[in-house]
A and B are shown apart, each in its own frame.
Chain A
Amino acid sequence: MRARIRWAIYLLVFLSVLIPMLTGISFPVGRISESTQAVFDYIESLPEGSVVAISFDYGPSVIPDVQPIAKALIAHCFKRNLKVMGFALWPTGEPLGRRAFEEVAEKMGKVYGEDYVYFGYRAGYSTVMLQMGEDIRKVFEQDYRKTPTDRIPMMKHIRNYKDIDLLVDLAAGDSVETWIVYAYTKFGQKLAAGVTGVIVSQMYPYIQAGQLVGVIPAMRGGAEYEELIDYSKLLGEPGMAKTGMSIQSIVHLLLMILIAIGNLEFVMMRRRR
């Protein structure tokens, strides 16, 4: 009996993903969450030419959660004519960051080295964070194309955290906390984060304490950000998070019904006893 119920749940979840995906059901994005709006507003408030750094600290296993955030964030910065520098402290984040930059920059006609730069992966984690506060060139001597940092036009005036207006950590692990310890607490660097659903609850205390400007929470946050920047118009393709969230809503509805049935069954079982 138990095995049958398990299979029935698998089947229901599968169908609740498959049917809306094939039929293309789409729901509008509701009220934008405060934490996502805060990141958007902060970037909107930056003057042209300001520098935004993005750390790609995640891997391929969380692409649906974080990659849409990365692309929407880069597109927003490009739209506002901000300079964007990217790097990865997770080895698996290196190709994902590169791909996000290349895809968005190509569609928005941005020039490598002038509008954005990508340094690739750097080993060292907290050491990298600490050294960036003193001299970025100590940890990023060259970019991922092996061009010395001093020869990259965009990096001419970027020396350390003082020259970075916002650092966004796209994370699937504990890197946000480490950034808060070493970059915010020690150097006062303004921080924001885009994180997976699994760790998003841990982030809210840091927002209310002012340690993070805001947090873009997983696929939901990605969809909200795509809505805020009008992603499909900007890049000429539908936003992955927005499409995924419509399906997500249906699965959530199913799960809520299943939880309610499970609880009802539990109460009835207790009464029978």
Chain B
Amino acid sequence: MEAISMWVAAILTLCIYSFLYKDNPFYKFAEHLFVGVAMGYSAVLTFRDGFIPYVWKYLKAGIVGERISYAVVDLWRDTAEVFVLRQTEPERLLVILPTIIGLCFFARFIPRISWLVRYPIAFTLGLGTGIALPLGLQMNIYQQMYGTLSPFGMISKLSPFQIFNAVLMLVGVVCTLTYFFFSAEHRGGIRWVSRIGVIFLMIGFGSAFGNTVMGRVSLLIGRMFFLRDWVNEVIREVSAIFG
């Protein structure tokens, strides 16, 4: 089984790399297969690990009850008896409310009631924004400001290199923010400051580009290692057949 999966993976890898020549049916096949398998896998896993334990199980417990078994031990007679009962938990039926809201997402597929989709979207947006907004502000504004300014509060304890870093970071933040400041015309001093901001931005983009290249090369190396193992496997199989 492992050998078959290795062959399938190797052939699909070659199909994907065939795109380097030009777009072709083998590449298209592998691409569509990947999207389909990934979606199918995610759907099944979400159903098995999401819907079954957190919706179906609760509904079942609310309607037909949950099977509970317990043992009663009689110490005097040294006997034990196992009792089984079904206990209904009607409060668990409350799960039906979020389930209905969630099911409204599928209304999009039925034109006549497609307007129902607005409710789960509104609910998700409202809830998400309500939770994330204060936390997001704290995470991206206050904490970042603190991180930028806090070294100046203990400047006497810092080494010259750390002081240089702290000043560089502050200058970078101010200049980059000035570049995105559109309430005043970029002339004179503001123009120069925003130009320095552009340099910081370019360095940031360069760093991101470098890391992206590193990431892509890593993927190529990973695939090459896999293909090497596959070729070794093929050689082993061929030599086993022909002695």
Q: Which residues of A contact B (CB under 8 A)?
A: 10, 13, 17-18, 21-22, 59, 61-65, 91-92, 94, 120-124, 126, 130, 141-142, 177, 180-182, 184-186, 196-198, 200-202, 205, 208-211, 217-220, 240, 243-244, 247-248, 251-252, 255
Contacts and interface: CB of A to CB of B under 8 A. Distances in A.
Give the 9 A-B CB pairs with smallest separation, nearest first: A197-B215, A64-B222, A209-B147, A123-B50, A197-B214, A91-B42, A219-B218, A201-B208, A91-B45
Given A123-B49, A198-B212, A209-B148, 18 more contacts: A17-B221, A21-B221, A21-B228, A126-B128, A182-B135, A186-B135, A197-B212, A200-B211, A201-B207, A202-B208, A208-B169, A209-B143, A209-B144, A210-B146, A218-B214, A219-B214, A244-B218, A248-B217
Contacts of A248: 214, 217-218, 221
Given A92-B42, A210-B147, A181 B132 contact: yes
Contacts of B138: 185
Contact of A198 (B144, B211, B225): B211
B225 A244 contact: yes
B219 A217 contact: no
Interface residues of B, number: 41
Find the residue from B20, B45, B208, B216 having the highest chain A CB count within 10 A: B45
A121 B49 contact: yes
Interface in B199-235: 204, 207-208, 211-225, 228
Contacts of A197: 211-216, 218
A248 B224 CA distance: 12
Interface of B: 20, 38, 41-42, 45-46, 49-50, 53, 128, 131-132, 135-136, 138-139, 143-144, 146-148, 169, 204, 207-208, 211-225, 228
B101 to A, nearest CB: 14
Nearest to B50: A123
